[in-house]
Amino acid sequence: MITFEGAAKIYPDGTVAVAHLDLTVESGRTTVLVGPSGSGKTTSLRMINRMVEPTHGTIRVDGHDIRAQDPARLRRSIGYVIQQAGLFPHRTILDNIATVPLLLGWRRRRARARAAELMELVGLESAQAKRYPHQLSGGQQQRVGVARALAADPPILLMDEPFSAVDPVVRTSLQDELLRLQRELRKTIVFVTHDIDEAVRLGDRIAVFRPGGELAQYDTPERLLAEPVDEFVESFVGYDRGVRRLSFFPARGLSLRQDMVFEAQDRVERAREAVVAGEDPWVLVVNERRAPLGWVSARQLTEQPSGLTLGSLDKAPFGHTFDVATDSLRAALDAAVLSPAGRAVGVDADGRVLGVVSQEDLGGAIWSVTE
């Protein structure tokens, strides 16, 4: 557990980096410090490993005042990941990862063996071990940065905007990787970002900082999106917070319609009957493996002669699907909004269609869960 007790950083010229911080970071959880630039989130993070010394207040790790420890020794017991990875250009990947164990006096052989283990843990191929940082992509460098921070198995990991310099696709995969690692390792992670989406994705708890170095709100992501304490937090989390909040509700509970799903070899007249009986103007056509092919409208069905198969008709694209077991209401809503039929296609893990749901039905479901 890390506690800030009235911690502040005020520079001699009067600049306030952190005004007054009382905050408890729970062990084994990911706490995200988020806020616009100049809100003191990075300064607060750097106080934990004494890269910045607070001018007021106390910071404790598991009850011990960090000022009681020699800074270098304290830092060796806390993992540190920075924005541009900060890998040593003159050292191989393996030796970069082995840095802290070597500082701690491990034998080279043991430190390298540990480094090799970590490369595997963060998803780097062992062929990369002998390469140099400049030979790696930004995303791979950041994986090395994470491996290096974990090398001496510290209980605490400080991450200062680690993924902000990589492109969005790589960022998402690094975030997934971090979530997977954290499920495995259960470290106390303090993560700084200016990206509220990243905060919501990664954080068990989120601390929103406002300019001037004040803590505006400290809450779980769900509560932060549901009940921002003031206008600043509300505008910072974004005006689509309502939609984003839907990520916390699983799509599992949706009732999907199966009566509007037909196979490609089914005939037009069958679908026509279903459209009348089901009072719905769209049917989804799937192939024999139940993979979606596209939408057929009620108008097409009345215009086309009986006897034709549905497979022979022109179909509107089905857009993207949502995984009923793992996706959230947000993914389902997005799929429905983007679909030309205004209906979302729910699939299982193998991409087989389980059923469809219309925007109207989704609206009802959202109403009932968020009430």
Partner 1 sequence: MNIMTLLVEWFSDPAQWSGPAGIPTRLVEHVYYSLLGLGLSTVIAVPVGLLTGHTGVGGFLTTSLANFARALPTIGVLFLIVLLAGIGLVPVVCALVALAVPPILVNTHEGVRGVDPGLKDAALGMGMRGREVLFKLELPVATPLILMGMRTAAVQVVATATIAAYVGVGGLGRYIVDGQARQDLSMLLGGSVLVVALAVLTTLLFAGLRRVLVAPGLRAEAAAAR
Q: For binding to partner 1 (CB under 8 A), which residues are involved? A: 49, 51, 71-77, 80, 82-92, 99-100, 103, 132-135, 148, 158
Q: Residues 6 or more apart from 81 whose CB is under 8 A from it?
A: 142, 145, 146, 148, 149, 157, 158, 159, 160, 162
The answer to whether residues 146 and 120 touch, using CB atoms and an 8 Å cutoff, is: no
Nearest distance in Å: CB 365, partner 1: 47
- Please identify, using beta-carbon distances, which residue of 104 and 308 lies nearer to partner 1: 104
- Please identify, using beta-carbon distances, which residue of 144 and 284 lies nearer to partner 1: 144
Nearest distance in Å: CB 199, partner 1: 22
Among 238, 242, 219, which residue's Cα sits nearest to residue 229? 219
Burial 197-227 (b: 16+ CB within 10 A, else e): bbbbbbbebbbbbbeebbbbbbbebebbbee
- Please identify, using beta-carbon distances, which residue of 114 and 330 lies nearer to partner 1: 114
- Please identify, using beta-carbon distances, which residue of 148 and 171 lies nearer to partner 1: 148
Rounded-to-integer distance, Cα 11 and Cα 347, Å: 56
Nearest distance in Å: CB 134, partner 1: 5
- Please identify, using beta-carbon distances, which residue of 95 and 323 lies nearer to partner 1: 95
- Please identify, using beta-carbon distances, which residue of 22 and 53 lies nearer to partner 1: 53
Nearest distance in Å: CB 135, partner 1: 7
- Please identify, using beta-carbon distances, which residue of 142 and 339 lies nearer to partner 1: 142
Nearest distance in Å: CB 158, partner 1: 8
CA distances from 120 to 81, 109, 139, 299 (A): 18, 17, 15, 56
Nearest distance in Å: CB 174, partner 1: 18
Strand locations in 11-155, DSSP E?
16-25, 30-34, 56-61, 64-65, 78-81
Rounded-to-integer distance, Cα 202 and Cα 31, Å: 8
Alpha helices in 19-105, H assignment, sequence order: 41-48, 71-76, 93-97, 99-103
314: number of Cβ within 10 Å = 9
Place of tokens 């490993």: 49
Nearest distance in Å: CB 112, partner 1: 16
